[in-house]
């Protein structure tokens, strides 16, 4: 038989569990709106649906309503964070895609660990072929006093190998990073190896160069990298660009972007404490003797985002373009997604005085994501017909009414927008020839 205290504990647990289960239902039907912290990260947000005979009998109402209620019952965000917190606290498991919890709660993404150990190695033949094309491109660009630079951003697994979980450690003597470093050196190509530079400075740097809870270089390191990159470009092109000026500097344990990007996506109930990080703020000294010069085109993975969002590239360079994974083009895509494949990339590549291809070790397996071949075609083996087609497609996209008509036709004929855009561009070219 239970003692009075044991009986009270069991009774308390029962009513607590009952409240835990019933409270969300009460909140839904009462219409009460409680302030809860929004979930971070990328996920599909289900929309509500109104009942109808058709939706009921074809099953759409039940399915969509079920998805909607799963995301919008009372205290959804709180319970999701509570579940994530318990998994992390007791099992060191991250409820975020591809996230690995390392020793002492250092957070990694699986792709960085795979790259460090060479699990995604594409082979020296492919790396050599890419490097040869880069060499040919740079040779042609040099004739016009232009520059192609490869930038190797640091990888978290390379920077913090001591915190990788034992179960993920393997032996490897080959990796895409080592392959590219060797081949770029062999071809005598301009490149900056921030992966090695920051690793070498790890113990002597006054401020952390990589965060515990982020996957990208620290806010501080990204600003150092940009300043070093600009100085490198000035030296290589013999061009005086606007000087950078430090406006403010703070050191804080309240993490800011991008130093907490993995942690934010884990949606824990309570924040984790880390070491203090540095947050510099830069601007450009407005000197008439050093106006903005050079058009720059950056083809990069997500490591360029913080630098781009800082606004500094736009203040240093005359024209500042960012092709994210050689897919979305910025600044155009801030209004509506614009794809590189649909623009007049011939014109954009030719306009660039400096082309930067930037990768962290985790994305080197898809170096340039097609850009090297695209650039080789434009610079070394131009195709007049293809260039004409790209120009026509871009002129159609530049006309809102025309492009809207393309979308409607694509929907009518059940084809992709790009296919319909190509067909109309070809027709436009043919018609202009017949005039």
pLDDT values of the chain reduced to their tens digit, one per residue, 435 residues: 567 776 677 677 776 666 666 666 555 555 555 556 778 766 566 677 777 877 777 877 778 767 776 666 667 777 788 889 999 999 999 988 899 999 999 999 999 999 999 999 999 999 999 999 999 999 999 999 999 999 999 999 999 999 999 999 998 889 999 999 999 999 999 999 999 999 999 999 999 999 999 999 999 999 999 999 999 999 999 999 999 999 999 999 999 999 999 999 999 988 899 999 999 999 998 776 788 899 999 999 999 999 999 999 999 999 999 999 999 999 999 998 889 988 899 999 999 999 999 999 999 999 999 999 999 999 999 888 888 988 998 888 888 899 899 899 999 989 998 899 999 998 888 888 776
Joined together, the tokens standing for residue 412 give: 């009518």
Q: How many domains does the chain have?
A: 3
CA atoms within 13 A on the CB side of 25: 5
Question: 136 to each of 12, 141, 175, 237, 330, how far by Cα in Å?
Answer: 75, 9, 24, 18, 27
At which of 87, 112, 141 does a domain end?
87
Handedness of CA 375, 376, 382, 386 (dihedral sign): negative
Asked if residue 18 belongs to a domain, the reply is yes
Residue showing tokens 């736009």: 314
Q: Is residue 395 part of a domain?
A: yes
- The number of angstroms, rounded, from the C-alpha of 417 to the middle of its chain's C-alpha atoms is 25
Considering the domain architecture, whether residues 184 and 75 belong to the same structural domain is answered as no
Alpha-carbon distance of 150 to 181, in angstroms, equals 10
One domain, residues 430 and 315: no
342 occurs within a structural domain: yes
Residue where one domain finishes, among candidates 87, 117, 144: 87
| Cα separation, 105 vs 407, whole angstroms | 48
Residue 343 lies in a domain: yes
**Can you point out the beta strands (E) in 24-161?**
99-101, 107-109, 147-153
Domain span including residue 396: 385-435
Cα angle 203, 208, 211; round to 5: 120
258 preceded by cis ω (within 30°)?
Answer: yes
Query: Pick from 342, 357, 382: which residue ends a domain?
Result: 382
The reply to whether 259 and 142 lie within a common domain is: yes
- 124 to 129, 337, 364: CA distances (angstroms): 8, 35, 12
Residue 94 forms part of a structural domain: no
163 and 78 co-located in one domain: no
Please check whether residues 272 and 316 belong to one and the same domain.
yes
Residues 35 and 175 in one domain: no
Cβ-in-10-Å burial (0-12, 13-18, 19+) of 28 comes to: middle
Burial call 100-115: b when 16+ CB within 10 Å, e when fewer: bbbeeebbbbebbbbb
Do 195 and 78 sit in the same domain of this protein? no
Do 129 and 244 belong to one domain?
A: yes
Q: Specify if 151 maps to a domain.
A: yes
Same domain membership, residue 139 and residue 269? yes
- Judgement on whether residues 35 and 65 belong to the same structural domain of the protein: yes
93 in any annotated domain: no
Task: Assess whether 180 and 309 both reside in one domain.
Answer: yes
pLDDT of amino acid 432: 80
Listed residue (270, 263, 265, 267) closest to 77, CA to CA:
267
* 92 within a domain of the structure (yes/no): no
Q: What is each CA distance from 358 to 297, 304, 321, 342, in whole angstroms?
A: 11, 8, 13, 22
For residues 37 and 146, membership in a common domain is answered with: no
């Amino acid at each position: 038989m239970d003692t009075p205290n044991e009986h009270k504990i069991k009774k308390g647990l029962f009513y607590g569990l009952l409240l835990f289960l019933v409270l969300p239902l009460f909140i839904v039907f009462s219409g009460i709106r409680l302030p809860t912290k929004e979930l971070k990260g990328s996920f599909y947000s289900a929309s509500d649906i109104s009942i109808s005979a058709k939706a009921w009998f074809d099953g759409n109402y039940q399915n969509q309503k079920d998805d909607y209620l799963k995301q919008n019952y009372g205290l959804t965000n709180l319970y999701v964070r509570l579940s994530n917190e318990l998994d992390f606290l007791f099992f060191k498991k991250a409820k975020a895609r591809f996230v690995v919890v390392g020793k002492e709660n250092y957070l990694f993404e699986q792709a960085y660990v795979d790259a460090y150990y060479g699990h995604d190695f594409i082979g020296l033949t492919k790396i050599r072929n890419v490097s040869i094309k880069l060499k040919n491109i740079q040779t042609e660009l040099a004739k016009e006093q232009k520059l192609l630079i490869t930038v190797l951003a640091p990888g978290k697994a390379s920077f913090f190998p001591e915190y990788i979980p034992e179960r993920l450690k393997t032996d490897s003597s080959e990796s895409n990073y080592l392959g590219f470093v060797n081949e770029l050196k062999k071809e005598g190509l301009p490149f900056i190896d921030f992966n090695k530079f920051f690793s070498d400075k790890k113990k002597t740097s006054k401020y952390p160069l990589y965060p515990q809870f982020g996957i990208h270089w620290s806010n501080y390191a990204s600003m150092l990298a940009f300043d070093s990159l600009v100085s490198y470009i000035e030296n290589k092109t013999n061009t005086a660009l606007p000087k950078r000026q430090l406006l403010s500097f703070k050191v804080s344990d309240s993490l800011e972007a991008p130093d907490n990007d993995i942690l934010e996506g884990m949606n824990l109930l309570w924040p984790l404490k880390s070491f203090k990080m540095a947050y510099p703020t830069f601007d450009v000294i407005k000197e008439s003797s050093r106006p903005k010069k050079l058009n720059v085109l950056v083809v990069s993975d997500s490591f360029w985002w913080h630098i781009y969002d800082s606004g500094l590239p736009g203040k240093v360079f005359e024209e500042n373009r960012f092709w994210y994974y050689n897919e979305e083009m910025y600044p155009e895509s801030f209004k509506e997604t614009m794809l590189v494949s649909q623009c007049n990339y011939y014109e954009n590549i030719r306009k660039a005085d400096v082309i930067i291809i930037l990768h962290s070790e985790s994305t080197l397996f898809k170096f340039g994501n097609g850009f090297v071949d695209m650039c080789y075609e434009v610079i070394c083996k131009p195709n007049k017909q293809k260039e004409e087609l790209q120009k026509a497609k871009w002129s159609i996209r530049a006309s809102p009414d025309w492009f809207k008509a393309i979308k409607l036709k694509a929907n009518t004929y059940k084809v992709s927008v790009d296919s319909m855009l190509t067909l109309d561009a070809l027709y436009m070219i043919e018609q202009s020839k017949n005039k």
